[in-house]
Amino acid sequence: MKILYNQIKQLVPGLVATPAEVGEALTMTGIMQESLTAVNYNGQPDTLFSLEVRQNRADCFSVLGIAREVAAYFNLPLKLPTTKAWQSTDFVLPIRIDTDQVRRVRAVKLAKAVAKPSPQWLVDYLAFYDIKSVNLAVDLSNYVMVLTGYASHLIDYDRLDGDMVWSINNKVTKVTTLDGSQIDLTGGELLISDRREIIALAGIVGTSYAAIKPETANILLEMAAYNHSLVRQNSRRLHIVTEASNKLEKDLSLAGLDYAFDLLINLLIDQIGVQVASQLFEHYPNPAQSLDIKLDPQLVSQMAGVVIGQEQSRQLLQQLGFTVNDQQTPWIVTVPIWRTDLEMAQDLVEEILRLYRFDKIPAILPNLTITPEITLPLIKAKERWRDWLVAQGWDEVLSWTMVTRANNQATNYLPWSIASTQNAINEDYPDLRQTILASLVEQSREYLKKQVPDLQIFEIGKVFGRLDDNYQEAEHLGWLLAGSDSVVEQLRQTVTGFLAWAGVDQLVWSKLEVGPTVANPYAAWQILLDSQPLGILVQLADDYNGQIMAAAEIDANLLINHLMTIDSTPATVELTQKLVSLDANLELDNRQALTAELAEISAKVGYEGLWSLSVVDEFALPNGRYRYTVRAVYKELDDQSAKKLHLQVFGLN
């Protein structure tokens, strides 16, 4: 919203505050000054404010609304342009309203119109709002719109054929606007039309059909307020934003329309010499009622956290145009007609406090009640995990969670389909990533372009997909490492070490039958936890500047859920005897069988007797099986007892 300092001063003649003071006052009370520029207007130096008006203040998208705020803040009277009563005739306008989306319409026929150019002050005035001068009648209607916030429409009355009708479109597919643009309609738009043609997309823009021309002698003036949501929807959907749509998509006060309408007719009579040549057409099915809100004045101090006297609260409300009946508690506060954004006591408190100014409320660190800790275990765990990884030399990256379709297809290994956005501006990245791998691979490509050495990155973040028509998301942890021949094993050790440190004691690594296409199909493993797939470890098919790349990814939600189910047993032991190490060979089908066998042996020995159990050799036998040399280290047993137990648990008797 743009406004000149002298526009405000005209409406608030007692204003002595400087433009900077006015800008600061508006900013602090809810209308932020974005800029303050020295300009020349009407031959005089002036100051142009650019203000950010929030959507709830429909009344402030006008010069009058801003001036009213300034007058309230500085407690000065507001001087509105006066209007005189005007005479109507008996002629009834042929207007019909066929939709309940029209909340109010006022219209009259104006005769004896003469096309005149606008004076320079008016041309300049409108230019500040990027409104091009057309002729005096149109310019005055725009002037009133800028001043009051109510848009109007001037129509060449003699062009009309039959009734002028407001209706919801259900058949028209194209319309040509005043500037010649062809607009495709899809239905549901609010239209003004006559028997032959569309006159306007109501609340947005007119067509050329009945636009007033230099020869227009009879004007139909209409000023309306609609269901503002519909105007907004149509304006957005049709990609047409005009000064009128900007005003009419707000929740304008219906009662405020009277003054704007009268002012425009007065100006047209005074400046052009038109005569009102009809009855006033009024469509106002649900007239605005005055709104009374109960306010307990104690609420002001309670919400502020500082004592604000009742007299001061009452005074501030009155400055803002409220009527306060404080003969009883709660007070009955009547909301001024131009405000449509207020409905409850808390709204009134905000009004009082914003004028009181928030910067007069002390900022004291509160001594708030102790509340229960509800941080979820995963949130805490992620921070520990990050620390562990960083301490091991890993760099954390955060990537785009929206990726290319090709990237998702090359990296996905999970049994879900792609979750895709419907309206992404950037069409190259329509999909949510299905894996962290998708992001890490993309990151490695970017790093390769920049020849970054020592690639060792991880990311903890969300992955997304669709399963059974439901959108799902999960927290994953992914690693990507570039290095020499042993890089896959290095990463396996990192993942194993990480998981063991996190609290996992039994992992199974099994060959992945179908891995993501980005992986080397001969070097892809699935990580199983409690027989559930926890994640994958893969060697990537692409290299990194001649180095081998390995990547791994695990489901952090699954991991934390597992960790929540297991009891924590301390690793600490008291050593009173020397440890006894004994080896044994096991011939088994594969590593999975080995894991099961070791779990069984471990259970047989029991926590008290076992120091460690590890595989020290793996040897492929000609019969397709494997021989594993397992080293068991026993504690709290003498040599003889340990040997006896060893033979027993390994079945070597």
Partner 1 sequence: MLPNELLDQLRSELTAIADEAGLSAVWQKYLGKQGLIKQQVKALSALAIEEKRQQGPVWQAAQQSAQELLDSRAAELVAISRQAACQTEAQEISLKPVKLGHLHPITQTIRQLNDLFIKMGYSVMEDREIETDEFCFQRLNVPMDHPARDMQDTFYLQEPNILLRTQTSSVEARLLANYKPPFKVVCPGRVYRNETVNKSNHFIFHHYQGIVVMEKVSLADLFGTFTALFQSIYGPEVKIRFRNKYYPEVEPGVGPDMQCFNCQGSGCSICKGVGWIEMGGAGLIHPKVLTMAGLDPEQWQGFAFGLGLDRWAMAHHNITDIRTLLGGNLGYKPYHHENTL
Subset of 48-87 contacting partner 1 (CB under 8 A): 54-57
Asked if residue 426 binds partner 1 (CB under 8 A), the reply is yes
Tell me which residues in 435-464 interact with partner 1 (CB under 8 A). Answer: 442-443, 445-447, 449-450, 452-454, 456, 461-462, 464
Considering only 172-180, 394-402, 584-592, 598-606, which stretch makes contact with partner 1 by CB under 8 A? Answer: 394-402
Tell me which residues in 234-263 interact with partner 1 (CB under 8 A). Answer: 236, 249-250
Considering only 118-126, 304-312, 319-327, 485-493, which stretch makes contact with partner 1 by CB under 8 A? Answer: 304-312
Q: Which of 121, 471, 501, 619 binds partner 1 (CB under 8 A)?
A: 471
Tell me which residues in 145-164 interact with partner 1 (CB under 8 A). Answer: none
Asked if residue 396 binds partner 1 (CB under 8 A), the reply is yes
Q: Which is nearer to partner 1, 295 or 353 (by Cβ)? A: 353
Minimum separation from the CB atom of position 248 to partner 1 (A):
12
Asked if residue 379 binds partner 1 (CB under 8 A), the reply is yes
Q: Which is nearer to partner 1, 73 or 143 (by Cβ)? A: 73
- φ/ψ of 484, rounded to 5, equals -90, -160
Q: Which is nearer to partner 1, 124 or 347 (by Cβ)? A: 347
Asked if residue 543 binds partner 1 (CB under 8 A), the reply is no
Both tokens assigned to 364: 């004291």
Q: Which is nearer to partner 1, 23 or 206 (by Cβ)? A: 23
Amino acid (one-letter) located at 171: K
Question: Is-contact 234 189, C-beta < 8 A?
Answer: yes
- Per-residue DSSP letter, 329: S
Q: Which is nearer to partner 1, 557 or 590 (by Cβ)? A: 557
**Count of residues binding partner 1 (CB under 8 A)?**
94
- Nearest alpha carbon to residue 294 among 333, 267, 346: 333
Burial class of residue 260, CB neighbours in 10 A (0-12, 13-18, 19+): buried
Q: Which of 35, 75, 173, 325 binds partner 1 (CB under 8 A)?
A: 35
Asked if residue 303 binds partner 1 (CB under 8 A), the reply is yes
Q: Which of 123, 240, 291, 306 binds partner 1 (CB under 8 A)?
A: 306
Q: Which of 33, 135, 193, 539 binds partner 1 (CB under 8 A)?
A: 33
Specify the pairing of strand 519-529 against strand 532-544.
Answer: antiparallel
Q: Which is nearer to partner 1, 210 or 335 (by Cβ)? A: 335
Please provide the size of the chain in residues.
653
Tell me which residues in 326-345 interact with partner 1 (CB under 8 A). Answer: 344
Asked if residue 542 binds partner 1 (CB under 8 A), the reply is no
Burial 191-218 (b: 16+ CB within 10 A, else e): bbbbeebbbbbbbbbbbebbbbeeebeb
Tell me which residues in 166-195 interact with partner 1 (CB under 8 A). Answer: none
Q: Is residue 169 left, alpha or beta, with left meaning phi > 0 and alpha meaning psi from -120 to 50?
A: beta
Minimum separation from the CB atom of position 527 to partner 1 (A):
22
Asked if residue 38 binds partner 1 (CB under 8 A), the reply is no
Distance (Å) of CA 406 to CA 323, 480, 551: 64, 19, 18
Specify the pairing of strand 95-97 against strand 164-168.
Answer: parallel
Considering only 65-73, 283-291, 351-359, 615-623, which stretch makes contact with partner 1 by CB under 8 A? Answer: 351-359
Instruction: Kindly report whether the peptide bond that precedes residue 366 is cis, defined as omega within 30 degrees of 0.
Output: no
Q: Which of 51, 175, 263, 432 binds partner 1 (CB under 8 A)?
A: 432
- Nearest alpha carbon to residue 211 among 189, 242, 180, 250: 180
Both tokens assigned to 17: 């505050």
Angle between helices 136-148 and 63-74 (to 10 degrees): 40
Minimum separation from the CB atom of position 301 to partner 1 (A):
9
Minimum separation from the CB atom of position 645 to partner 1 (A):
37
Tell me which residues in 499-538 interact with partner 1 (CB under 8 A). Answer: none
Minimum separation from the CB atom of position 403 to partner 1 (A):
11
Minimum separation from the CB atom of position 556 to partner 1 (A):
12
Asked if residue 399 binds partner 1 (CB under 8 A), the reply is yes
Q: Which of 16, 370, 571, 575 binds partner 1 (CB under 8 A)?
A: 370
Minimum separation from the CB atom of position 422 to partner 1 (A):
5
Rounded to whole angstroms, the Cα distance separating 51 from 32 reads: 6
Asked if residue 561 binds partner 1 (CB under 8 A), the reply is no
Q: Which of 98, 383, 542, 587 binds partner 1 (CB under 8 A)?
A: 383
Distance (Å) of CA 31 to CA 23, 63, 309, 312: 9, 13, 25, 22
Q: Which is nearer to partner 1, 79 or 384 (by Cβ)? A: 384
Considering only 180-188, 193-201, 359-367, 601-609, which stretch makes contact with partner 1 by CB under 8 A? Answer: 359-367
Question: Is-contact 18 32, C-beta < 8 A?
Answer: no
Question: Is-contact 238 189, C-beta < 8 A?
Answer: yes
Q: Which is nearer to partner 1, 453 or 570 (by Cβ)? A: 453
Determine the 3-state secondary structure of 469 from DSSP: coil
251: number of Cβ within 10 Å: 17
Q: Which is nearer to partner 1, 359 or 485 (by Cβ)? A: 359
Q: Cα 162–168–169 angle (5° rounding)?
A: 85
Considering only 140-148, 399-407, 485-493, 569-577, which stretch makes contact with partner 1 by CB under 8 A? Answer: 399-407
DSSP letter for each residue of 116-172: -PPPHHHHHHHHTTT-----HHHHHHHHHHHHHS--EEEEEGGG--S-EEEEE-SS-
Asked if residue 419 binds partner 1 (CB under 8 A), the reply is yes
Q: Which of 366, 415, 546, 570 binds partner 1 (CB under 8 A)?
A: 366
Question: Is-contact 588 597, C-beta < 8 A?
Answer: yes
Tell me which residues in 214-233 interact with partner 1 (CB under 8 A). Answer: 228-229, 232-233
Rounded to whole angstroms, the Cα distance separating 431 from 581 reads: 55
Asked if residue 29 binds partner 1 (CB under 8 A), the reply is yes
Asked if residue 305 binds partner 1 (CB under 8 A), the reply is yes
Amino acid (one-letter) located at 619: F
Rounded to whole angstroms, the Cα distance separating 233 from 217 reads: 35
